[in-house]
């Protein structure tokens, strides 16, 4: 029997005001039917595949990459390695020297979470000026066997740039990226179990998720 002690929600609230990457579809969530008029409550939900807390499949940046419904489900569930980088400033790179003491925890099956603390700026212009992960960090973690990478910011790469080197490196090994997550500070326990399961959207580049961290008793 799985004995769960605590579950931490790592997902941003999904509303019409949820921050989106510049140029992505604007969320449109509204009432479609009501009990009073149609006999049941139903909502109209029009969002992009990368809206809110979400995962990217390799196809997001590689036309030959796996779509979200083709990705190995084991990549969305596993033990997490939380790497605190909360001292980073606007559009500052996260380099190997920043994560060196955590590299020995990274390996096959591990889910890496870069804790920037930037989700506290969601809804502000500053949210788009987040720190980002240098590809040297991703390359080293891939070499150690990691295939799933998360960040509590809108992008693993720099937002507004023309190159997406971290995305490209992860797509090249059929890995998964989770972005727009939040509440990493709530993971105040060791050996968190991370769940990032996507919707089974056939042929899509990604999917919104209800991401959580689980503490087992």
For 162, the domain range is 4-17+49-216
> For a pLDDT cut of 90, what percent of the chain falls above it?
98
pLDDT band at 216 (very low <50, low <70, confident <90, very high): very high
| CATH code at position 11 | 3.50.30.50
Tell whether the model's pLDDT for residue 123 goes beyond 80. yes
In a domain, 147, yes or no: yes
Tell whether the model's pLDDT for residue 1 goes beyond 80. no
In a domain, 38, yes or no: no
Q: Count CB-CB contacts under 10 A for residue 49.
A: 20
* Beta strand pairing call for 54-56 and 176-179: antiparallel
Mean predicted confidence (pLDDT) in 77-97 = 98
Instruction: Count CA atoms within 13 Å of residue 126 on its CB side.
Output: 7
Tally of structural domains, the chain: 1
In a domain, 151, yes or no: yes
Best CA proximity match to 9, nearest among 153, 194, 197: 194
In a domain, 42, yes or no: no
What is the distance between the alpha carbons of residues 69 and 49, in angstroms, rounded to a whole number?
A: 12
In a domain, 32, yes or no: no
In a domain, 184, yes or no: yes
In a domain, 136, yes or no: yes
In a domain, 35, yes or no: no
**pLDDT tens for residues 24-34?**
999 999 999 99
pLDDT at 63: 94
* Residue 82, Ramachandran bin (φ over 0: left; ψ between -120 and 50: alpha; else beta): beta
Cβ(58)–Cβ(171) below 8 Å = yes
**pLDDT tens for residues 167-205?**
999 999 999 999 999 999 999 999 999 999 999 999 999
Structure tokens at 216: 């087992």
């Amino acid at each position: 029997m799985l004995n769960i002690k605590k579950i931490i929600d790592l997902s941003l609230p999904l509303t019409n005001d949820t921050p989106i990457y510049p140029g992505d579809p604007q969320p449109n969530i509204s009432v479609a039917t009501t009990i009073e008029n149609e006999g049941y409550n139903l909502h109209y939900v029009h969002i992009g595949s990368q809206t809110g807390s979400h995962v990217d499949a390799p196809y997001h940046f590689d036309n030959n990459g796996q779509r979200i419904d083709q990705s190995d489900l084991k990549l969305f569930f596993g033990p997490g390695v939380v790497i605190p980088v909360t001292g980073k400033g606007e559009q500052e790179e996260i380099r190997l020297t920043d994560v060196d003491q955590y590299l020995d925890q990274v390996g096959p099956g591990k889910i890496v979470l870069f804790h920037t603390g930037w989700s506290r700026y969601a809804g502000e212009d500053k949210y788009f000026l987040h720190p980002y992960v240098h590809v040297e960090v991703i390359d080293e973690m891939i070499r150690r066997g990691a295939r799933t990478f998360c960040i509590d910011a809108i992008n693993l790469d720099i937002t507004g740039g023309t190159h997406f080197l971290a995305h490209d490196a992860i797509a090249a090994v059929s890995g998964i990226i989770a972005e727009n997550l939040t509440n990493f500070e709530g993971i105040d326990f060791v050996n968190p179990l991370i769940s990032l399961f996507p919707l089974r959207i056939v042929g899509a580049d990604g999917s919104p998720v209800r991401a959580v961290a689980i503490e087992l008793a």
